């Protein structure tokens, strides 16, 4: 299954090409251009390096947030547009699970992984996961969601974490960003849809000002 995955929810964007679980190629986009200008050319270059085009993909995936409102929309719109153009499924992966999944194989199953994204002024987006290795396929992990993605006050969220919980993300001392590689790896275990939608856990600043 060939998947092209987009990660555009943070300041550093990336794209990844999933060919199988042992072959996932990622490009991190280090440019002054906006995501809307840089991500699709980077994806096309990555595909070209492997002799492929978007028409060869079996599915497209995107990080649907939470994160930058504009960034989330860019990735979701690109994945939806490509899916519609090629009549291929589109797969949603959220930013918090993309962060946590990076650490799926370093904690025993009894432990939990908390992903926390900084939303400024002591606020954040958080979720808690556990991972279990699939005995039949050692490279695959089943995900158990202990705390679903939510908007939170970081200090309060940290108080209620399970014992021995590993805490990672931009709102923690272990600062990790979501990556297209992990979006692609998670997407490979999911069934796609005709269209995906952004995960907005709170109103944008413009909406908050409008409602004030």
Task: Report whether pLDDT(207) > 90.
Answer: no
pLDDT at 206: 46
Return phi, psi of residue 183, to 5°.
-60, -45
pLDDT tens readout for residues 133-143: 777 666 677 88
Mean pLDDT of 117-122: 94
Q: Which pLDDT score is estimated for 110?
A: 57
Q: What is the mean pLDDT of residues 188-194?
A: 94
Q: Is the pLDDT of residue 212 over 80?
A: no
Determine how many CB atoms are found less than 10 A away from the CB of residue 55. Answer: 10
Contact indicator for 3, 59 with CB cutoff of 8 Å: yes
Mean pLDDT of the chain: 91
Q: Which domains does the chain carry? A: 3-96+177-211 (3.30.420.40), 98-168 (3.30.420)
Cα angle: 126, vertex 204, 171; to 5 degrees: 30
Residue 19 three-state SS? strand
Q: Which two tokens stand for residue 144?
A: 């158990």
pLDDT exceeds 60 at position 208: no
Give me the pLDDT at residue 209, please: 47
Is a pLDDT exceeding 80 seen at residue 210?
no
> What are the Cα distances from residue 46, in Å, to 6, 149, 159, 183, 203?
12, 31, 42, 16, 34
pLDDT mean over 82-95: 98
Averaged pLDDT for residues 14-30: 93
For residue 111, what pLDDT is reported?
74
Question: Over the stretch 30-72, which tens digit does the pLDDT of each residue have?
Answer: 888 899 999 999 999 999 999 999 999 999 999 999 999 999 9
Residue 161, pLDDT > 60, answer: yes
Structure tokens at 121: 């002024």
Whole-structure pTM value: 0.91
pLDDT above 70: residue 205: no
């Amino acid at each position: 299954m060939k998947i092209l995955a987009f990660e555009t929810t943070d300041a550093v964007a990336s794209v990844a090409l999933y060919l199988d679980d042992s072959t996932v190629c990622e490009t991190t986009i280090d440019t002054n251009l906006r995501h809307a200008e840089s991500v699709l050319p980077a994806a096309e270059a990555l595909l070209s390096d492997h002799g492929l085009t978007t028409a060869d993909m079996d599915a497209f995936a995107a990080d649907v947030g939470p994160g930058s409102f504009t960034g989330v929309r860019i990735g979701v719109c690109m994945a939806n547009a490509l899916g519609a153009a090629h009549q291929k499924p589109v797969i949603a992966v959220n930013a918090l699970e993309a962060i946590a999944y990076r650490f799926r194989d370093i904690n025993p199953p009894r432990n939990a992984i908390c992903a926390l994204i900084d939303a400024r002024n002591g606020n954040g987006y958080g979720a808690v996961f556990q991972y279990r290795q699939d005995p039949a396929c050692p490279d695959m992990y089943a995900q158990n969601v202990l705390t679903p993605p939510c908007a939170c006050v970081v200090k309060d969220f940290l108080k209620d974490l399970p014992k021995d919980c590993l805490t990672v993300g931009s709102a923690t001392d272990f600062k990790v960003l979501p990556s297209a590689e992990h979006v692609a790896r998670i997407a490979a275990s999911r069934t796609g849809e005709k269209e995906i939608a952004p995960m907005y856990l709170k109103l944008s600043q413009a909406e908050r000002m409008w409602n004030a």
